Chains A and B, each alone.
Chain A
Amino acid sequence: MDELIEILKDLHSDVDFETCTTLIDDKILDSFDIVSIVSEVNDRFDVTIPAKELVPENFNSAKALWDLISRLEED
């Protein structure tokens, strides 16, 4: 989780990713960020986020994204 927070902090140092649950709803992350996050996650965690998982619910909070990564790592 810490590594993920680090990736997110690189994009928006001013956001509290530990508590924020409206990253998409409040337009904190935009399409540029999503592209960066997906590529960083692929590189660092050795998982591929498939298109069907690219939905707002999985990106609204760091926790949701971490749950997704964990799920993909198990598969």
Chain B
Amino acid sequence: MMRTVLDYLDSTALRLPDKVSFRDENTSLTFKQLREQALSGGSALTDAGITREPVAVYMSKTPSEIAAFMAVLEAGCFYVPIDDEMPKMRIRLIFENLEPRAVICDESTRESVKELAGDAKVFIWDEISDSSVNEEKLASIRALMIDTDPAYIMYTSGSTGIPKGVAVCHRSLIDYIESFCGVMKFDEDTVFGSQTPFYFDASLKDIYPTIKLGCETVIVPHTLFMFPIKLVEFLNNYKINTLCWVVSALTMISAFGALDENPPKYLKIVGFGGEVFPIKQYRKWKKALPDVRYINLYGPTETTGVSMYYEVDRDFEDDEAIPLGKPFENVDIFLLDENDKEADEGEICMRGTCVTLGYYQDPERTSAAFVQNPLNSRYPELIYRTGDLARRNERGELVFISRKDFQIKHMGHRVELGEIEADVNSVKGVVASCAVYLKKKDRIELYYEGKPEEKELLTYMKEKLPRYMVPTKVHKLDRLPLTPNGKTDRKGLTALSEGY
């Protein structure tokens, strides 16, 4: 019986030792090298007494980082990806919540880690990735691991400004990967172009099918996502045939007409998610590459990334949304109305092994989101309430409507408008603030009242918030408008910005 995702690595390294697993422009790792480095790194952690605990992996996005993740798992621990792209303040908050005793870094992040690590032991990847392997010790650790042990923690946005660490166990991950690979029909010839940062759970879609099936993942340089023609050239140079990308990365190519110039000719599968794919952009893709399979992938971090899929099999009107489709195997999805009764329109709720362990060291927020199934009063059963509203169409497919709260999807990332406001409100002299999301322009703008100047506030936010959360424009007002019942008039401000 398979208990950990390391079993995938063991069998693929045995079957395809010399095949490249992960590569970027400069380096690559075969499956054999990946496993060897994982065993070395895992031994170094074990020898230092690190076990059954979180290990922060603060490295740049390279094939070595994947080896470091696997090393953490070999040591019976769970990895927590951290990246230099995250703002310093956010990383500090993550470290405060995580309290790691061990951090793995590389040369590029060494200095940043020194400032943050405190009492934690710092391991430099190049130094531990070829240390001697303690096979006996690693085998005894593996024998004690069970599938409900955590494999990783991914941090997501929280409305109070404190990020939430979603802890995910091996069983959730294994069931997800098994279903996902089946639905997508990946095989040994699949070559992924990796787009998302590793601290974002969308990256699981490339990493684990690669390790399970012996595919290849090519890390696409971040800077190429500014220049669509060069991006497509890169995809063609590396014969990339599969993309699992956030919608905004795909529309960046289609909106600028790059598909007409020089289409990505090896593509066979395009999985997309993170936000709604505008029909007009989808049509451009379909027209340029009619034989590609297009699959909508949906699911929050709290239910292991992807829980639903829909393979696009028909055309849609301009104002229609591509359905979320149906659940993966072994996942049950249902809609609850305002009275917690099952309905054809309501909040998307999920049960099954996809439901993760909850938020790390945060019982309060865990119990608010992971709750007893209101449809079951007979025995304990936790479900996850996504906060996403959907309806069932006449074909029985679920279609996304909107968020229940002020959370939005921007550039493929989940953003709590409340988190932006909480940060701004903590600035000295700010009286109140309201962040609004302009759907048409896909941008965030901020209104506030208080002393600081607009530029000053914008500079502050750039230092503190992740890039995708920084408003495009900031407007200072004498007084924020209020609704008749005394709340900030968010709708009015949105309309004001749309008319700008």
User: Which residues of A pack against B, CB within 8 Å?
Assistant: 10-11, 13-14, 24, 27, 29-32, 34-36, 38-39, 49-52, 54-56, 59
Indicate whether B226 reaches chain A with its CB closer than 8 angstroms. Answer: yes
**Which residue of B is nearest A12, CB measured?**
B462
State whether A50 touches B257 (Cβ < 8 A): yes
State whether A38 touches B256 (Cβ < 8 A): yes
- A32, A38, A49, A55: residue with the most chain B Cβ atoms closer than 10 Å: A32
Number of interface residues of B (CB under 8 A): 24
New contact pairs (16) apart from A14-B459, A54-B229, CB-CB < 8 Å: A24-B223, A27-B223, A29-B226, A30-B226, A30-B467, A34-B226, A35-B252, A36-B443, A50-B257, A51-B229, A51-B256, A51-B258, A51-B261, A54-B258, A55-B227, A56-B226
- B228, B261, B472: residue with the most chain A Cβ atoms closer than 10 Å: B472
**Which residue of A is nearest B257, CB measured?**
A51
How many whole Å from A30's CB to the nearest CB in chain B? Answer: 7
Given contacts A13-B459, A36-B472, A50 and B256 within 8 Å (CB-CB): yes
The interface residues of chain B lying within 8 Å CB-to-CB of A13 are 455, 458-459
CA distance A31 to B223 in the complex (A): 7
- B222, B257, B441: residue with the most chain A Cβ atoms closer than 10 Å: B257
The interface residues of chain B lying within 8 Å CB-to-CB of A51 are 228-229, 256-258, 260-261
How many whole Å from A3's CB to the nearest CB in chain B? Answer: 16
Q: Which secondary structure dominates where chain A touches chain B?
A: helix
The interface residues of chain A lying within 8 Å CB-to-CB of B227 are 34, 54-56
The interface residues of chain A lying within 8 Å CB-to-CB of B258 are 51, 54
State whether B256 touches A54 (Cβ < 8 A): yes
State whether A52 touches B225 (Cβ < 8 A): no
CA distance A54 to B258 in the complex (A): 10
Contact with A along B403-444 (1 / 0, CB 8 A): 000000001000000000000000000000000000001010
**Which residue of B is nearest A14, CB measured?**
B459
- A30, A51, A59: residue with the most chain B Cβ atoms closer than 10 Å: A51
- B227, B257, B260, B455: residue with the most chain A Cβ atoms closer than 10 Å: B227
Kindly list the 10 A-B residue pairs having the minimum CB-CB distance in the complex, ordered from nearest. A51-B256, A51-B258, A13-B455, A34-B226, A51-B257, A31-B226, A31-B225, A54-B227, A51-B228, A51-B229
The interface residues of chain B lying within 8 Å CB-to-CB of A55 are 227, 229-230
Contact with A along B377-412 (1 / 0, CB 8 A): 000000000000000000000000000000000010
State whether A52 touches B229 (Cβ < 8 A): yes
- B256, B443, B473: residue with the most chain A Cβ atoms closer than 10 Å: B256
CA distance A27 to B411 in the complex (A): 19
CA distance A13 to B460 in the complex (A): 12
CA distance A39 to B472 in the complex (A): 12
**Which residue of B is nearest A11, CB measured?**
B472
How many whole Å from A59's CB to the nearest CB in chain B? Answer: 8
How many whole Å from A44's CB to the nearest CB in chain B? Answer: 13
State whether B468 touches A32 (Cβ < 8 A): yes
State whether B473 touches A54 (Cβ < 8 A): no
CA distance A12 to B289 in the complex (A): 38
Given contacts A10-B473, A14-B459, A32-B411, A54 and B467 within 8 Å (CB-CB): no
**Which residue of A is nearest B232, CB measured?**
A51
The interface residues of chain A lying within 8 Å CB-to-CB of B441 are 39
The interface residues of chain B lying within 8 Å CB-to-CB of A34 are 226-227
State whether A52 touches B261 (Cβ < 8 A): yes
Residues from 255 to 307 in B contacting A, C-beta threshold 8 Å: 256-258, 260-261
CA distance A27 to B229 in the complex (A): 19
The interface residues of chain B lying within 8 Å CB-to-CB of A54 are 226-229, 256, 258
How many whole Å from B64's CB to the nearest CB in chain A? Answer: 22
State whether A31 touches B229 (Cβ < 8 A): no
**Which residue of A is nearest B459, CB measured?**
A14
**Which residue of A is nearest B222, CB measured?**
A31
Residues from 232 to 265 in B contacting A, C-beta threshold 8 Å: 252, 256-258, 260-261
**Which residue of B is nearest A36, CB measured?**
B472
How many whole Å from A26's CB to the nearest CB in chain B? Answer: 12
The interface residues of chain B lying within 8 Å CB-to-CB of A11 are 472
CA distance A51 to B225 in the complex (A): 12
CA distance A32 to B249 in the complex (A): 11
How many whole Å from B468's CB to the nearest CB in chain A? Answer: 7
How many whole Å from B87's CB to the nearest CB in chain A? Answer: 13
How many whole Å from A22's CB to the nearest CB in chain B? Answer: 13
- A13, A36, A49: residue with the most chain B Cβ atoms closer than 10 Å: A13
Contact with A along B186-225 (1 / 0, CB 8 A): 0000000000000000000000000000000000001101
How many whole Å from A62's CB to the nearest CB in chain B? Answer: 16
The interface residues of chain B lying within 8 Å CB-to-CB of A38 are 256
**Which residue of B is nearest A58, CB measured?**
B227
The interface residues of chain A lying within 8 Å CB-to-CB of B467 are 30, 32
How many whole Å from A39's CB to the nearest CB in chain B? Answer: 7
